[in-house]
């Protein structure tokens, strides 16, 4: 831009300060319009990229990767549990067999206890008959009957508890049978497929997250580059101001020339035109250098914007190639195990309920067995007391002693049967407890857990899709803005020839006045001082210093310096 060398002055040319002033004013205005437009466009690009970075960071940080990983892990855990269902069922079947085996002797033992209690009642009647009204024996028989009534109530309660405990077993057997039928259709292939699909989807989502992170890195680079370019856009304002200062100086010189003596004005005009030539030439060279760097900087951002589009296209290709196969496959696997998980939930619910009731029943059974044990001890003690009293009666007490001996025998049998009942109850409770799957959490539902996990994964995929959806549009917009802004700051086609011609004319007619005297010196000093007062940049004052008249001091500072260095 403006790189063509300025040709040597043509002596035949004529100077038109009015035309030059108009040219500089026009270029300054056009430059301002171009750079303001470019600056606003870059600010828009900066905002787009800033929004994109924020969106991508939101995806990577708020994507709920922990939740998604937990969801996938839950699917794997469900798949593992389903895959080992046959082993769980085998254990459950063994437990059901132990329950059935334990329930049968319990019924027999309870019947034995009831018969033993009946025999003890008969023994009580025999005591009354044999005692023939002797004092104390009838009371013993009555007391024993009361204790036997308590024992009968408790042993009946034990039977009821056992019936209640085993009542749900047929339903559990039926659920287990249905679960086995479902398992035969899908295990182990479907649970393994579910685990594989979950892992494949996780790998796919990890790749998506990595792609989002790559986009964020590139976008942050573009963000920084655009911010730097926006800062460097001040070259347009610097150049505009300098051209406006020169144009204002030319207008002031025209006004002086028109009112001054033509002969006296020649050296003043020549000196000022030489100053304008130097200022214009330096302004054009600086603008060429810095705007060229700015254009190159903007062009350097384009590959990054293109990289965004390439990453977007890469993601689109993957989504097009797999056709959403990962998520669809996972959905199908979840649907395939739906029947199994429903049966499993039913079996778990019944096993949990049975296990819960077993804990309560075990407590009640233990208490009833303790009561039966105390009844047995009481009867046994009463039998011994009766036996002792019979010995004191001598031959008259032999019949009573025989009955007391029978009572002790029945009490001993009752103790033995009670112990067997306790062992059977403990075995039954243990068998029921073993029906519960230790890895089935209380209140958990595999079907619900899978549905929730799938919804979580859906949400993560949707969030990723939404976040990446605008990437192509944003990247294309940034790319267009960069192209437009680059054209705007590349002013060579619009202003190159015009500015070179202006510098040529000013150099052609510029003639520094080495040692002006008298009125010429005063007039020139006034023009130079007026020009110096308009400067806002150090470079302008530096060039002005080359044309300052000896003895008139340094040029006055204008409206404040503008740092025109370090744009890049």
For the chain, list residues with pLDDT below 70.
1-14, 55-69, 71, 100, 131-136, 168, 179, 182, 185-186, 316, 318-330, 333, 337-363, 392-397, 433-450, 452-472, 551-568
413-430 confidence digits (pLDDT tens)? 888 888 888 787 777 777
pLDDT 10s digits, 315-371 = 767 666 554 566 666 677 677 766 666 666 666 666 666 655 655 666 677 777 777
d(C-alpha 511, C-alpha 265), whole Å: 12
Q: Contact, 131 vs 137, CB < 8 A? A: yes
Specify the DSSP class assigned to residue 491: -
Residue 338 CB-density burial (10 A; 0-12 exposed, 13-18 middle, 19+ buried): middle
**Contacts with 438 (C-beta within 8 Å, 6 or more apart), sequence order:** none
Three-state helix/strand/coil letters over 361-429:
HHHHHHHHHHHHHHHHHHHHHHHHHHHHHHHHHHHHHHHHHHHHHHHHHHHHHHHHHHHHHHHHHHHHH
| Tokens encoding 377 | 């001890």
User: pLDDT value at position 385?
Assistant: 75
User: Which of 385-414 are b and which e, b meaning 16 or more Cβ less than 10 Å from the residue's Cβ?
Assistant: ebbebbeeeeeebebbbebbebbbebbebb
Residue with tokens 């001091």, as numbered in its chain: 553
Count the neighbouring beta carbons within 10 Å of the beta carbon of residue 285.
Answer: 13
């Amino acid at each position: 831009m403006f790189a063509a060398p300025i040709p040597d002055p043509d002596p035949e040319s004529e100077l038109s300060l009015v035309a030059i002033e108009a040219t500089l004013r026009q270029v300054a205005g056009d430059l301002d319009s171009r750079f303001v437009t470019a600056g606003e466009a870059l600010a828009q690009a900066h905002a787009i990229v800033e929004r994109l970075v924020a969106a991508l960071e939101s995806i990577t940080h708020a994507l709920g990767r922990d939740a998604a990983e937990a969801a996938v892990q839950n699917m794997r855990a469900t798949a593992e549990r389903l895959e080992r269902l046959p082993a769980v069922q085998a254990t459950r079947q063994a437990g059901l067999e132990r329950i059935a085996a334990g329930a049968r002797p319990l019924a027999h033992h309870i019947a034995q206890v009831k018969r033993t209690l009946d025999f003890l009642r008969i023994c009580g009647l025999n005591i009354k008959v044999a005692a023939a009204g002797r004092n104390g024996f009838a009371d013993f028989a009555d007391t024993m009957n009361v204790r036997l009534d308590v024992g009968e109530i408790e042993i009946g309660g034990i039977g009821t508890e056992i019936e209640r405990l085993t009542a749900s077993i047929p339903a559990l057997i039926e659920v287990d049978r249905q679960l086995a039928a479902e398992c035969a259709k899908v295990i182990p292939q479907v649970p393994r497929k579910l685990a594989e699909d979950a892992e494949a989807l996780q790998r796919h989502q990890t790749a998506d997250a990595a792609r989002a992170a790559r986009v964020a890195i590139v976008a942050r680079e573009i963000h920084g580059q655009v911010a730097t370019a926006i800062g460097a856009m001040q070259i347009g304002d610097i150049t505009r101001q300098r051209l406006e200062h020169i144009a204002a100086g030319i207008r002031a010189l025209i006004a002086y020339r028109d009112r001054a003596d033509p002969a006296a004005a020649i050296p003043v005009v020549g000196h000022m035109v030489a100053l304008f030539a130097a200022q214009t030439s330096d302004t054009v060279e600086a603008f060429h250098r810095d705007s060229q760097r700015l254009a190159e900087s903007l062009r350097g951002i384009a590959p990054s914007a293109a990289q965004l589009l390439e990453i977007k296209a890469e993601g689109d290709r993957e989504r097009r190639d797999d056709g959403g196969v990962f998520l669809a496959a996972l959905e199908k696997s979840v649907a395939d195990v739906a029947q199994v998980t429903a049966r499993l939930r039913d079996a778990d619910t019944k096993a949990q309920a049975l296990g819960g009731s077993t804990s309560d029943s075990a407590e009640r059974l233990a208490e009833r067995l303790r009561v039966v044990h105390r009844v047995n001890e009481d009867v046994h003690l009463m039998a011994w007391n009766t036996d002792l009293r019979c010995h004191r009666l001598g031959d008259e007490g032999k019949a009573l002693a025989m009955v007391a001996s029978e009572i002790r025998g029945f009490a001993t049998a009752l103790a033995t049967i009670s112990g067997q009942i306790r062992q059977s109850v403990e075995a039954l409770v243990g068998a029921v407890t073993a029906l519960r799957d230790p890895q089935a959490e209380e209140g958990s539902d595999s079907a619900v857990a899978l549905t929730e996990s799938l919804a979580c994964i859906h949400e993560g995929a949707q969030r990723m899709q939404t976040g990446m959806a605008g990437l192509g549009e944003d990247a294309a917009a940034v790319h267009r803005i960069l192209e437009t802004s680059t054209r705007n700051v590349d002013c060579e086609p619009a202003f190159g020839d015009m500015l070179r011609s202006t510098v040529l004319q000013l150099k052609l007619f510029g003639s520094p006045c080495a040692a002006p005297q008298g009125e010429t010196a005063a007039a020139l000093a006034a023009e130079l001082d007026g020009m110096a007062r308009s400067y806002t940049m150090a470079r302008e004052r530096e060039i002005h210093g080359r044309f300052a008249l000896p003895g008139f001091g340094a040029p006055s500072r204008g409206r404040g310096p503008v740092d025109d260095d370090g744009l890049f």
